Amino acid sequence: MSGVSRLQYTTESRLIRVMCSGRVDLAFVFRAFLKGTDGVFIGGCRLNECNYDTHGNYHALNMVLLAKRIMEHIGLSPERLRVEFMSSGDGIRFAEVMSEFGRKVKELGPLGQGEGLDEGILKSKLAEITRLIPYIKMAKKEKLGSRLSNPERYADLFTRDEIDRLLREVTSYYIDPAKCQACMLCARRCPAEAIISVKNQIHVIDQEKCIKCGTCFEVCPDRFGAVKEISGVTVPPPIPEGERTVVRKK
């Protein structure tokens, strides 16, 4: 049992159902907030009682713990996101939890307004976080796969300093024009179609589209080594179109 819902101040609610709580991606949560959702609830099977033996509910738990830290980073109350684990027979508990969560979201007020955030700035922050989700998931892959049996450890899985540093020191990727041989491997594999590629011309990464997943870095042939990781400094500007003709290496 799982879902992402928009909580309104009436008896109406909208629920998106998916098969397993482990399939609720970090992107689903932040896209919901980006669209103006005031609260997101995720319900899953009881921990250690997975119906599919995949224990996706642990992934859901870790994802929520990570999302809450990111929400704190951008100024949103983490109480707008809640995860609970129960069985299909816990109808009364489910009703109680949803009523309690609904009251909490109503108390918090409309998204951003309750936190005193400018609507335009908040949307910009949420859009940037949504774009960086592949990078965030890759950087925290090991922790997202954890199985925390002790609730007392939940708060320590992701720390505020850790997330602040992660989002402050985002890794960017740049194609060195002196090394690119226009093999087009990076362009073919880029999931965001963020690489401008033309036959026999040096490739360029569109930094506005780049999701920081590192795929281009991984697939660039070692003999070229054209894709560079950059952190903490400004990405060099792309070379002019008229100067992108590749000079082949012998």
Q: pTM for this one? A: 0.77
For domain 172-243, give the fold.
Alpha-Beta Plaits (3.30.70)
pLDDT averages per 10-residue partition of the chain, 250 residues: 40 50 91 95 86 81 96 97 90 94 96 95 95 90 90 92 92 93 95 92 93 92 94 88 81
Q: What is the CA radius of gyration of the chain?
A: 22
CA dihedral 87, 93, 94, 97 (to 10 degrees): -130
Are the C-beta atoms of residues 97 and 133 closer than 8 Å to each other?
Answer: no
What is the residue extent of each domain of the chain?
3-168, 172-243
Whole-number Cα distances in Å, 169 to 76, 196, 228: 21, 25, 15
Query: What does the block give as tokens for 96?
Result: 């109680």
Angle, CA 100 vertex, CA 95 and CA 105 arms, to 5°: 125
